[in-house]
Amino acid sequence: MPRSCAASPARRSRSSASATSSSGSRSSTRTPTTTPRSREVTPPSADAPASVYATALLAGLVRRGVTDVVVCPGSRSQALALAAARFEQAGLLTLHVRIDERSAGFLALGLAVESGVPAVVVTTSGTAVGNLHPAVLEAAHSGVPLLVVSADRPEELRGVGANQTTRQAGIFRDVAPHSWDVAAPVGAEGEEQAADALAAEVLDGIRGPRHVNLAFREPLSSAVRLPDAAPGEWVAPAPVSVDVVTLAPRPGTVVVAGAGAGEDAERVARELGAPLLAEVSSGARFGPQLVPAYRELLGAAGFGDRVERVIVFGHPTLSREVPAIVERRGVETIVVRSPGLDDYNPGHRVARFADRVEVTPGPEPDPSWARRWVHTSRLLLEEVEDSVASLGTDYAERAAFARDQLERMRAPVTRRRLVEAVWAATWPHDRLVLGASRLIRELDKVATGKRIRVHANRGLAGIDGTIATATGIALASQRDETRPGVTRVLMGDLALLHDVGSLLGGAGEAWPRLQLVVGNDHGGTIFDGLEVARSADPALADRVLLTPQSVDLAALAAAYGWQHRAVTESGQLDGALTPSPGRVLVEVALGR
């Protein structure tokens, strides 16, 4: 029954005994008993083949550990949607309903990136499938396990101008080469077993997005009869092969941790005695080797010019200094592969790729190399401030200090003050999600070491789906109600408006503890710091790049049922970031 979609858009013959997917894998094919039967209409009183097959497929996914299904409304996909609802009713999975497919795709992405378990997103046919493309692209480039299940018209309605019908099979083939185009079930013997086998196949070795396109004929649904099934335990797929590179400590080595690097980068830096240049979204921004001011030092004499070896984890995206050092002649670069679509290789200068790095046992590495980096970085970040301890007992001095503190409290919020406050307010039981804006780069410059979970869609660094992704992360991280914690999102105003539809949840669904911290500078001021700001006509640049906006965010929050907190002065910031139940939009006024 299931058929893999080959690189060619042409549909394979039903008589094929097997089919080859564009990834080179093979999948078994079960065909209807006879061609005429495939066009018969099942009587309304009988079980619709669509519902039988959809139920068997979901049961197969649940048995193998899938816990979350995101559903968008649609007629052609009703068998899948109703089956998912019945499974949730029975306590076999968690269902999330969204009216916007783009939001649904990123919600599934967030669920999967936090839990590590593939999340399923279900859509009807036509443009609904195309709206998933941004989330599929991000999943591909960041290696997040995402399963798209789309409903489609049967073969006889394709290519004839039928309503809501396009070429869905293999629509994501360039970034999701594992795809299956499944012929419409007809109620033939063995179809339920074929659906279960398909569930096993699509989850086998999943590391990025995969796509199952299911054709359905009328009747499109019937009563759902649940099989005997119990939720299974998800077991993450092991790498097909493991290439380990063993390194010895030596001066001139630095460890770079990009997005998604994880804690292994910190371990390797510590064992090598090397400076750790960890982006704020790396998951490795902590430890004794951390160099927060890495950008400045990579360009400074006596530091960046003495780098001879670079070990890269994750996907670095937040600076120009890192790719520049990798591309420099005489620098040996070793990249630890991440599950994303492309291996990091700026300028095609990487000497070696590996799956894991181990450090040779031996004497302790010379600490002087890393100590210089760490110490100088701390000096660069220090701010000289008055303190109570430095004051004398003179009343005039104490009064002057009090006036100074009051002025600071009433001062407008700067970007640095905002990002430092958000970083300080976030703890290990929380989650921090960083949107694509000036603020993630500002935080990357000043964030001190802290072992917290940070997420950001840096596979393609798009502005898309930030709220939806964060909602999925919050839902997955807050399943255990006995554990405290809030998911805090740091984003710009355009990122908020780009994903405003994700402020709307599913009716009757509980919201997690979610706090959107929006730095509102009324447009895309990130372009003010790029070369274009020095070369373009300011009026034209504002029109097409800044894209100024004057949306009333308080009214917007109220329309979607969110709490709203306005911050216009520095003294209001810490209180506004205090966690609270439910959904809160914290609007922080920023200057351009």
The enclosing domain of 331 has a CATH number of: 3.40.50.1220
Name the β-bridge partners of 151.
214
CA distances from 375 to 108, 251, 290, 321, 445 (A): 42, 16, 10, 20, 16
- Same domain, residue pair 571 and 487: yes
pLDDT value of position 159: 84
Residue 199: phi and psi, rounded to 5, are -60, -45
H/E stretch holding 69 reads strand 68-71
**What pLDDT score was predicted for residue 409?**
66
Q: How far apart are CA 443 and CA 452, in angstroms?
A: 14
The torsion angles phi and psi of 212, rounded to 5 degrees, stand at -115, 120
- Residue 268, SS3? helix
Domain count, the chain: 3
Residues in the chain, pLDDT under 70: 1-45, 383-409
Q: Are 305 and 284 in contact (CB under 8 A)?
A: no
CB contact burial 372-403 (16+ within 10 A = b; e otherwise): bbbebbeebeeeeeeeeeeeeeeeeeeeeeee
Task: Name the domain boundary from 381, 403, 432.
Answer: 381
The pair phi, psi for residue 377, each rounded to 5°, is -60, -40
Q: State residue 57's pLDDT score.
A: 98
Residue 223: inside a domain: no
- Rounded Cα–Cα distance for residues 575 and 489 (Å): 16
Single-letter code of the amino acid located at 204: D
Please tell me whether residues 370 and 485 are part of one structural domain: no
Residue 221 lies inside a defined structural domain of this protein: no
Do 129 and 175 lie in one domain? The reply is yes
What is the structure's pLDDT at 396? 65
In a shared domain, residues 198 and 249: no
Would residue 146 count as lying in a domain? yes
Strand partners for 181? 213
Per-residue pLDDT tens digits for 104-155: 999 999 999 999 999 999 999 999 999 999 999 999 999 999 999 999 999 8
Are 196 and 250 members of one domain?
no
479 shares a domain with 337: no
515 and 554 inside one domain: yes
Query: Apex CA 404: angle with CA 398 and CA 410, to 5°?
Result: 140
- Residue 406's pLDDT is 57
Q: Who contacts 37 (Cβ-Cβ below 8 Å, separation ≥6)? A: 186, 188
The pLDDT value given to residue 387: 40
> If 0-12 CB within 10 Å is exposed, 13-18 middle and 19+ buried, where does residue 420 land?
middle
d(C-alpha 316, C-alpha 346), whole Å: 10
438/352 same-domain check: no
Rounded distance between C-alpha atoms, residue 12 and residue 145, angstroms: 27
Give the model's pLDDT for residue 393: 52
Kindly report the backbone phi and psi dihedral angles of residue 484, in degrees, each rounded to the nearest multiple of 5, phi listed first. Answer: -75, 170
Q: What is the CATH number of the domain that holds 419?
A: 3.40.50.970
Which amino acid is it at 531? E
Q: For residues 279 and 445, give the distance between their C-alpha atoms in angstroms, rounded to a whole number.
A: 9
pLDDT at 46: 78
Instruction: Answer yes or no: is 453 within a domain.
Output: yes
Is 298 a member of any domain? Answer: yes
Q: Can you say whether residue 456 is alpha, beta or left, with left for phi > 0 and alpha for psi between -120 and 50 degrees?
A: beta
Q: Write down which residue in 199, 215, 231 finishes a domain.
A: 215
Please identify which residue in the block is written with the tokens 């060619």. 8
Per-residue burial over 157-187, b = 16 or more CB atoms within 10 Å of its CB, e = otherwise: bbeeeeeebbebbbbbbebbbbbbbbbbbbb
CA nearest neighbour of 40 among 152, 158, 187, 215: 187
Answer yes or no: do 38 and 179 share one domain: yes
CB 335 within 8 A of CB 479: no
Question: Within the chain, how many helices (H) and strands (E) appear?
Answer: 19, 21
pTM: 0.88
Q: Are 584 and 563 in contact (CB under 8 A)?
A: yes
Domain shared by 158 and 278, yes or no: no
What pLDDT, on the 0 to 100 scale, is given for residue 59?
97
Helix (H) / strand (E) containing 211: strand 209-215
Written as one letter, the residue type at 96 is H
Assigned domain for 402 exists: no
Amino acid present at 511? W
Q: How far apart are CA 284 and CA 318, in angstroms?
A: 15
With CA atoms as reference, report the closest residue to 474 among 444, 516, 411, 528.
516
In one-letter notation, the amino acid at residue 446 is V
pLDDT of residue 401: 57
**Does 435 lie in the same domain as 326?**
no
In 338-466, DSSP assigns E strands to 352-354, 356-359, 431-434, 453-455
Which residue segment(s) compose the domain that 249 sits in? 244-381
| pLDDT reported for residue 586 | 98
Domain-embedded: residue 224:
no
* Polymer length of the chain: 592
pLDDT tens digits, residue range 283-337? 999 999 999 999 999 999 999 999 999 999 999 999 999 999 999 999 999 999 9
Do 357 and 499 lie in one domain? The reply is no
Strand partners, 433: 455, 489
Is the CB of residue 275 less than 8 Å from the CB of residue 370? yes
User: Is residue 432 in a domain?
Assistant: yes
